[in-house]
Structure 1
Amino acid sequence: MLRSMYAGVSGLNAHQQMMDVTGNNISNVNTIGFKSSRVTFKEMLSQTIQGASAPQDNRAGTNPQQVGLGVGVGSIDSDMSSGNLQSTGKTSDVAIQGDGFFVLRDGNNQVYSRAGNLNFDEQGRLYSSSTGMLVQGWMADANGDYGDFNAQTIDDVTLKQEINAQETDSVSFGKNLDADATNTLDILEQNLDLSAGGNSDTLEFSLTPVEGQHNVWDFTLSGAEITTNIAGSGSNKISGTLITDNDGEVVTFETSSGTDLTSGFNVNLNGSSVTMDALVDSSGSSITNINDGFLIAQNGDTTKNANLAFDQTAVRNIAVDVFDSQGAKHTVNLELEKTANNEWTINENEVEINNNTVTNVLGGSDHVISFDSNGNIDGGETVDLTFTPPGPGTSQTVELNFSDMTQFAGDMTANFTNVNGYASGALESFSFTETGDVVGSYSNGLTQTLAKLGLANFSNPSGLLRQEGVFQTTSNSGDPELGAAAQGGFGSLAPATLEMSNANLSQEFTNMITAQRGFQANSKLITTSDEMLQTLVNLKR
């Protein structure tokens, strides 16, 4: 009879522990990274009243007769499944999607956690807000590279608060120079009403750019009267070629028969001669550049003229900022002029640095960039630009790389594509990536990969020991395997989110009901056994 009472007592104890575990799960329903537990029961030792017997002769065997001695707690298992993710918008929050634990340093010991509410202390060290323990990972070098991800190199994750200035030594250029780009030569106005000896005529001057040639125009000068003889041609109409350089200087101004008109020519008006000054300015003085005055005037009378204007439109100006060794910014302005078909030139004496023209910075000569017939660069891929910034006061050389440029007919898009070097910068913010990289953003506009969070995995994560909100290894959990997120079986990270508790309230309330009913039934067992004992005692009366 007493055995049933003790069985009831064991049931009370077991269901009380079940209630304790359930209560702990419910109390941690809002604890980030919390892993719930469950209780399983096992039958305690049974008392054997009669053993089993084997069949013999014509009699069957008998089964053993045993009386159970109650129930005990078989195990308290941890549910290590992932909880739901909660978006927080806080850049220092991060959650693990999949397997793995954050690695924390507690003094000289390593502990593990799924709670990703992290922050940085005044020394720039990443720590767990819940425990104050330092987060472990691997620091990146200046190029954002890591060594091996192992236990020997893992260390505190520390943010780099400032980035020192780096001198620019390379600028890359790319995209397209327009193969159809041409300079323009326009007739602004003309008044060539000529008269002499009672004869008169009105001449007409026209220009047509020669397709496929650079700075070359066909011209025509014609009179209305058939008796007019222009430049000794015996005709009232002459044609020829006008060629300039990129600055508007006249190179060639001659008729198709080879007559040079640059020094002037005569026009015979039915026997009366008129002298034309081919290149004069507004005062009648000789010039060579079209933009300095008029192209044609009669006997120094600049009211009788053909006024031309040259505009250098086959040019691409590219401004790029470079930095000296002390982080000061200098703006370099390069002017790429189309000087011939498939040829662009940077004038040695027209490079500007900080809006000031600086000479002799390209090695003593103009730099020519040439292209083949397919629009690909085939010469002048690189050139060194050397100047002396005022701060450091020492010579600085920057390689200009044009190898990625093309020349096709189309938009003029050529520009710089990559510039190394930068000014010094202070840390403004940081963020995590899905692969565990810690990326810092600095005031100089630079982002730099600073570190990678370390993750730990275990053969038996349920074998970890809970202690003050973190997990510790045990002899049954296995040694930790360290690695980076999103590789080698480790889960990826979800930035700006937290992992919620995986406690299931519906399941916990159900467990609470079954624990209550089990406790109630075991208490009833004790009272019933007591009543039976009372009946037995009353037999004496």
Structure 2
Amino acid sequence: MLRSMYAGVSGLNSHQQMMDVTGNNISNVNTVGFKSSRVTFKEMLSQTIRGASAPQENRAGTNPQQVGLGVGVGSIDSDMSSGNLQSTGKTSDVAIQGDGFFVLRDGSTEVYSRAGNFNFDEQGRLYSSSTGMLVQGWTANENGEYNNGLTRNNLGDIQLKQEINAEATDKVNFAKNLKANIINDLGIVQGSMQVSDGATTPVTDNINFSMEPVDGSHNVWEYTLKSDDPTTTFTDPTPTTTTGEYTGQIVLENDGSIDTASSDVDNLTVDINNSGNTDTLNFDDTIKLDKDGESLITNGTGESIDLSYQQTAKRDVSINVFDSQGGKHSVLLPIEKIDNNTWEIDETKLEIDGNTLTTPLGGNHEIKFNDSGEILSGETVDLTFTPAGPGVSQTVELDFSAMTQFADGGSLETNSDGMTANFSSVNGYEAGSLESFSFTETGDIVGSFSNGLTQIQGKIAMANFANPAGLSRQEGVFEATSNSGEAGIGEPAQGGFGSLAPSTLEMSNANLSQEFTNMITAQRGFQANSKLITTSDEMLQELVNLKR
């Protein structure tokens, strides 16, 4: 009779422990990275009243007769499945997608956690907000590299660098297109003027002027002078005489002056109406770049045809370079077309901080392209200057090897004139301070600095176990046990370790619907065992009442 009472007591104790575990799960339903537990029961030892007997020739065997002594807790198992992810928008939060644990340092003890609510302390060390323990991983060097590899031996605190030192520029890369068929601009292509012999009663004729570029030739234009009177003759110093019309060529330098040796610009004598009365047409060989309204051609009476010349066959590229102390210097690089497939950087026009230097390139630099539009020569040139501040000479390599020369711009990113040539990358930077940071899926911590630079600062380490359920819980973290196995250390998203989800946290994996069901089950089990005790008590009472 007393056995049933004690069985009831064991049931009360076991269901109380089930209720304790369920209550803990429910209380941690909003705990970051929490892993719930479950209780399983086992039957306690049974008392054998009669043992089993073997079958005999004339008698069957008998089974053992045993009375159970109650129930006990068989196990309290941890559910290590992943919880749902919650987006927080906080850059220092990170969650694990898949297997693995964050590695934390508690003094000299290594512990593990799934809670990724991190922050950086005053010394720039990454730590767990929940526990104050330091997050373990690997710190990168100034180039964002891990010198000694990502191994357990190199594991340590992750410390963000708060400042980044200035670095001098030593290379600028250029790319994209210089338009192959671009020409310099002449403001007019046609006009007219009156020629006269200058007499009191002058003999006159009207001369029409037109001009067009010569295909396939750089800075070469063909002009035509045509008189209204078809009998008017033109005589050049050759001498060559034509009637009614004269055709010649003008070859300009890039600065807009006439190349007189290559041009038909000597004085032309005009015999007006073939009357013997003449006027002289003079070409101006002092036309200069970017001057509007320059006189191209004049006659003896001072009438002129004007020209507005613009050097449009050029590309001015502006870049900023940095000295060793982080000082920024603006460089204006003029790239001018001087011949078919040939472009030039005139060092006398190159400006640094608005000033021209004596010999920044060691002479004018030519860039030549082949017939296919690919660079043929002049891929690189050194720009040398002495910046104020450091006061020492600095050399920057200018690399044009990726530039092209096509008529249509050579890329989808064309502007109105088809010229897209520009710098593609510039190394070097000014000093900067850390403004923000972010995590990547592979565990890298990327710092963003005030100078616009981003740099990998470190990587979070992860741990995994052969039996994660065998870990021991210690104040919100896990510790390895003899049954969990030793921690395997690795980097996120590699070798079976889960990847990271930046700006999110892993929620508790406690299932409220399951926990409430377990709570009801525990309550009913507790009630049933309570009834067992009261019923046993009533039976004992009946025995006592047999003797009245």
**Which TM-score band applies after superposition, normalised by the shorter structure?**
over 0.9
Q: What is the CA distance between 1:521 and its match in structure 2?
A: 0.5
The code of the aligned residue for 1:333 comes to L
Between stretches 77-86 and 232-241, larger displacement belongs to 232-241
Do the aligned residues in 2 keep the contact of 1:199 with 1:272 (CA within 8 Å)? no
Deviating above 6 A after TM superposition, structure 1's stretches of 4 or more consecutive aligned residues are: none
Q: Which residue is 2:209 aligned to?
A: 205
Check conservation: 1:241, 1:252, Cα contact below 8 A: no
Alignment of 1:90-489 (within 5 A): 90-146=90-146, 147-187=148-188, 190-196=191-197, 198-231=202-235, 232-252=240-260, 261-269=264-272, 270-280=274-284, 287=286, 289=288, 291=291, 293-299=294-300, 301-302=301-302, 304-363=303-362, 365-410=363-408, 411-489=418-496
In 1, the alpha carbon distance for the partners of 2:419 and 2:459 equals 42
Please give the alpha-carbon distance, in whole angstroms, between the structure 2 residues aligned to 1:26 and 1:234.
Answer: 109
Map 1:59-98 → 2, pairs under 5 A: 59-98=59-98
Does the 8 Å contact 1:279/1:287 carry over to 2?
no
Paired residue type of 2:351: E
CA shift, 1:277, in A, is: 4.3
Conservation of the 8 A alpha-carbon contact between 2:334 and 2:346: yes
Question: What's the TM-score, normalizing by structure 1?
Answer: 0.95
Mapped partners of 2:175, 2:214: distance in 1: 29
Deviation at 1:211, TM superposition (A): 1.6
State how many pairs are aligned: 528
Report the secondary structure of 2:166's partner residue: coil
Q: Could you say if the C-alpha distance between residues 163 and 482 of structure 1 is closer, same or farther in structure 2, counting changes exceeding 3 Å?
A: same
In 1, are the aligned partners of 2:185 and 2:310 still within 8 Å (CA)? yes
RMSD of the TM alignment (CA)? 1.6
In structure 2, the residue matched to 1:512 is 519
Q: Tell me the CA shift for residue 350 of structure 1.
A: 1.1
Please state how far the C-alpha of 1:289 moved relative to its aligned partner: 4.5
Over residues 5-35 of structure 1, what are the superposed CA-to-partner deviations in whole Å (9 max), with x where a residue is unaligned? Answer: 1111111110000000001011111111110
Deviation at 1:191, TM superposition (A): 4.5
Q: Indicate if the aligned counterparts of 1:240 and 1:253 stay in contact, CA closer than 8 A.
A: no
User: Could you tell me how far apart the structure 2 residues matched to 1:334 and 1:166 are?
Assistant: 22
Which position in structure 1 is the counterpart of 2:46? Answer: 46
Q: What is the CA–CA distance in structure 2 between the aligned matches of 1:473 and 1:3, rounded to whole Å?
A: 40
Distance 1:39 1:180 in 2: 83
1:203-222 Cα deviation digits (max 9, x unpaired): 01110111221111111111
Question: Identity over the aligned pairs, expressed in percent?
Answer: 65
> For 2:288 and 2:465, how far apart are their aligned partners in 1?
83
Query: C-alpha deviations, 1:417-476, integer Å up to 9, x for none?
Result: 111100000011111111111111110011111000111111111111111111111111
CA distance in 2, matches of 1:289, 1:31: 78
Residue by residue over 1:206-253, the C-alpha shift from the partner in whole angstroms, topping out at 9 and shown as x without a partner, is: 101112211111111111112211125141201121111111121148
Residues 432 and 450 in structure 2, CA contact (< 8 A), matched pair in contact too: yes
Q: Does 1:503 align with 2:510?
A: yes
Give TM-score scaled by structure 2 length: 0.94
Aligned-partner Cα distance in 2 for 1:334–1:226: 51
Structure 2 stretches lacking a partner, 5+ long: 409-417
Task: Give the whole-Å Cα distance in 2 for the aligned partners of 1:455 and 1:261.
Answer: 81
Alignment-derived partner of residue 490 in structure 1: 497
Displacement of 1:276 in angstroms is 2.3
* SS of 2:188 mapped into structure 1: strand
Q: 1:261 to 1:243 in 2, by over 3 A?
A: closer
Deviations 1:69-101 (A, max 9, x none): 111000000001111111111111111111111
